[in-house]
Amino acid sequence: MTAFLVLLGLVLLVLFWAIGAYNRLVSMRNQFRNAFSQIDVQLKRRYDLIPNLVETAKAYMQHESQTLEAVILARNQAVTANAQAAADPASAAALQQMASAEGALGASLGKLFALSEAYPDLKANENMMQLTEELTSTENRIAFARQAYNDGVMHYNTALEQFPGSVIATMCAFKPAELLQATESAEERKAVKVAF
């Protein structure tokens, strides 16, 4: 009888440990998914600001239509890529595509801001100044949200790899998540130079 109770105690201990490990992994997975949702919220704010920024700039930069069209095209591609990544934040391919589209959008916005420097009336326009400030603030929020996402993914992936959590992760088919990484080339990271 004593042996049976000891065995039952051990089985219950292992069962409680397994339940705790499983719940911890589920909690961590939900945390990194929530962190991605925060990125999604900020990106949607950014996507909403960009058309207003372009419309404001159009009046002043009529002969810079290629740049304005490139910003709108990059924005639309980023919206599509973000929607795919939001559907499955653990998908490496979707996150890579989103990061690439965001890099292209950032580059086109950089060109727009560099060109706007050549238009003093545009720089002085109250709407343009307000939109630029809001976009800058949003970019900072996106950077913080990406950092929180990467922190959540790091903790989740660490828990998946550490023993004894790795046993439960394997048994329950938990998959590692991908970090968001910058996709810009060294050339794309250089400051845009405007010459007339």
The Cα–Cα gap between 125 and 52 comes to: 13
Buried b vs exposed e over 38-55: b needs ≥16 C-beta within 10 Å?
bbbebbeebbebbeebbe
Is residue 71 within 8 A of residue 51, CB to CB? The reply is: no
Residue 7, burial from CB neighbour count under 10 angstroms (0-12, 13-18, 19+): exposed
Is residue 153 within 8 A of residue 181, CB to CB? The reply is: no
The Cα–Cα gap between 17 and 196 comes to: 68
The Cα–Cα gap between 149 and 179 comes to: 8
Indicate the angle between helix axes 126-161 and 92-116, nearest 10 degrees. Answer: 160
CA atoms within 13 A on the CB side of 168: 19
Going by pLDDT thresholds of 50, 70 and 90, the confidence category of residue 132 is: confident
What pLDDT sits at residue 186? Answer: 55
Cis peptide before 51 (omega within 30 of 0): no
- Region 78-100: mean pLDDT is 87
What pLDDT sits at residue 88? Answer: 83
pLDDT digits (tens, 9 = 90+) for 186-195: 554 455 454 4
Q: Which residues contact 44 (CB under 8 A, 6 or more apart)?
A: 82
pLDDT digits (tens, 9 = 90+) for 173-187: 888 888 877 655 555
Q: What percent of the chain has pLDDT over 70?
A: 89
Going by pLDDT thresholds of 50, 70 and 90, the confidence category of residue 77 is: very high
pLDDT digits (tens, 9 = 90+) for 19-32: 888 888 888 888 98
* CATH topology classification for 25-171: de novo design (two linked rop proteins) (1.20.1440)
